[in-house]
């Protein structure tokens, strides 16, 4: 039997391999019992999951020759950069040119089940450089489910694709480079895509408000490629009551010689899972404990087929 947890939080997919051999086939029952911490009746367990930004993180850049409004109002960026060590966010003024930088960060939050209640979330970025001669707020906006694309396109620059003020990081609070800084705590859980990809657009609040810069107003933060990706901390409450499984199935509709895989999904984090079978007439058990992430464990059961009960 194989136990495997998809991701390192609440949801795991359990793969059970039943080895079938030539000769007499004996029937039996196969069960899986969860081992978990009992809720106290006042709500489910509170869990905080940490997600690192994917390699799609990057920034959209638009510029105009002595023309900030032209750069700011463009439908498409002049360029997309998603493979650099650092990510630009904010606005920049020079004697000849005006620049606007809008950043996209992506997190695979597919391990968060639809059944959980998100309490709050916090975005954290690694400060590479601070060029905010005039301070501003790095602001989280939402354009999901479509925008920004993964990976980003020049058309993702369009300011009208994004809305909201979900969390902020005030550059006046930034200190030394080379460390992580947290945004204000986000309380609107709708921006977190359960069982999918969470895509966040980061913009200067002055960019959002349509304020032309008169000096440098931008920062650079670390990317996935640099080894210091943005981090997303999501705190949520697990369902109350005993764990439930769903999506029970198998990879074959008929008994066959060789390996047969059965699978199911649990609705929360387990301490362990106990597999039991009785093809020999006596019940036998195998306990698989959680060790950070579920590892593959194969159990050989000869000359048997099972009815899941």
Query: What pLDDT digit, counting tens, does each position of 96-110 carry?
Result: 999 999 999 999 999
pTM, two decimal places: 0.74
- Let me know whether 217 and 181 are in one domain: yes
- Let me know whether 245 and 233 are in one domain: no
Structure tokens at 50: 């940490």
- Let me know whether 205 and 89 are in one domain: yes
Concatenated DSSP letters of 225-262: TTT---EEEEEEEPPSSS--EEEEEES-SS--SEEEEE
- Let me know whether 201 and 178 are in one domain: yes
Task: Tell whether the model's pLDDT for residue 15 goes beyond 90.
Answer: no
State how far Cα 116 lies from the chain centre. Answer: 14
In a domain, 187, yes or no: yes
In a domain, 144, yes or no: yes
Task: Tell whether the model's pLDDT for residue 16 goes beyond 60.
Answer: no
Structure tokens at 54: 């994917």
> What tens digit of pLDDT does each residue of 179-216 get?
999 999 999 999 999 989 999 999 999 999 999 999 99
Please give the residue range of the domain that contains residue 265.
13-42+241-308
Q: Based on the structure, what is the number of domains in the chain?
A: 2
Could you give the residue ranges of the DSSP H alpha helices within the chain?
68-72, 205-209
> What tens digit of pLDDT does each residue of 129-188 get?
999 999 999 999 999 999 999 999 999 999 999 999 999 999 999 999 999 999 999 999
Mean pLDDT for the chain?
82
In a domain, 6, yes or no: no
In a domain, 3, yes or no: no
In a domain, 2, yes or no: no
Task: Tell whether the model's pLDDT for residue 17 goes beyond 70.
Answer: no
In this prediction, residue 18 has a pLDDT band, given cuts at 50, 70 and 90, of very low
- Let me know whether 37 and 61 are in one domain: no
- Let me know whether 227 and 203 are in one domain: yes
> What tens digit of pLDDT does each residue of 248-264 get?
665 554 444 556 666 66
In a domain, 53, yes or no: yes
Rounded to whole angstroms, the Cα distance separating 52 from 120 reads: 17
- In the block, residue with structure tokens 């939050």: 109
- Let me know whether 143 and 210 are in one domain: yes
Nearest C-alpha neighbor of 192 from the set 90, 102, 278, 114:
114
- Let me know whether 34 and 57 are in one domain: no
- Let me know whether 29 and 85 are in one domain: no
Structure tokens at 263: 């699978």
Q: Which three-class secondary structure state does DSSP give residue 13?
A: strand
- Let me know whether 233 and 102 are in one domain: yes
Is residue 241 within 8 Å of 46, Cβ to Cβ? no
Task: Tell whether the model's pLDDT for residue 240 goes beyond 80.
Answer: no
Helix (H) or strand (E) holding 87: strand 86-93
């Amino acid at each position: 039997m194989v136990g495997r947890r998809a991701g390192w939080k609440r949801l795991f997919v359990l793969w059970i391999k039943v080895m079938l051999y030539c000769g007499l086939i004996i029937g039996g029952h196969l069960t899986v019992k969860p081992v978990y911490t009992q809720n106290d009746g006042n709500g489910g367990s509170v869990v905080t999951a940490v997600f690192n930004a994917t390699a799609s993180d990057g920034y959209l850049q638009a510029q105009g020759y002595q023309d900030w409004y032209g750069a700011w109002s463009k439908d498409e960026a002049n360029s997309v950069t998603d493979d650099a060590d650092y990510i630009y966010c904010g606005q920049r003024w020079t004697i000849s040119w005006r620049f606007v930088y809008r950043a996209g960060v992506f997190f695979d939050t597919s391990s968060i089940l639809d059944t959980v209640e998100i309490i709050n979330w916090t975005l954290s970025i690694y400060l590479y450089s601070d060029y905010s001669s005039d301070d501003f707020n790095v602001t989280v906006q939402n354009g999901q489910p479509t925008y920004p694309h993964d990976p980003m396109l020049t058309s993702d620059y369009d300011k009208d694709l994004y809305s909201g003020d979900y969390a902020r990081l005030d550059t006046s609070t930034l200190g030394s480079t080379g460390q992580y800084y947290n945004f204000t705590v986000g309380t609107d859980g709708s921006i977190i895509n359960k069982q999918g990809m969470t895509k966040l657009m980061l913009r200067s609040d002055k960019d959002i408000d349509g304020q032309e810069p008169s000096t440098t107003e931008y920062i650079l933060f670390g990317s996935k490629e640099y080894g210091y990706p943005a981090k997303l901390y999501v705190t949520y409450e697990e369902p109350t009551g005993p764990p439930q499984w769903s999506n029970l199935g198998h990879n074959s509709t008929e008994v066959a010689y060789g390996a047969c895989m059965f699978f199911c999904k649990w609705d929360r984090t387990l301490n362990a899972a106990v597999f039991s079978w009785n093809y020999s007439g006596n019940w036998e058990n195998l306990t698989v404990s959680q060790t950070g992430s579920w590892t593959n464990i194969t159990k050989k059961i000869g000359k048997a087929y099972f009815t899941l009960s």
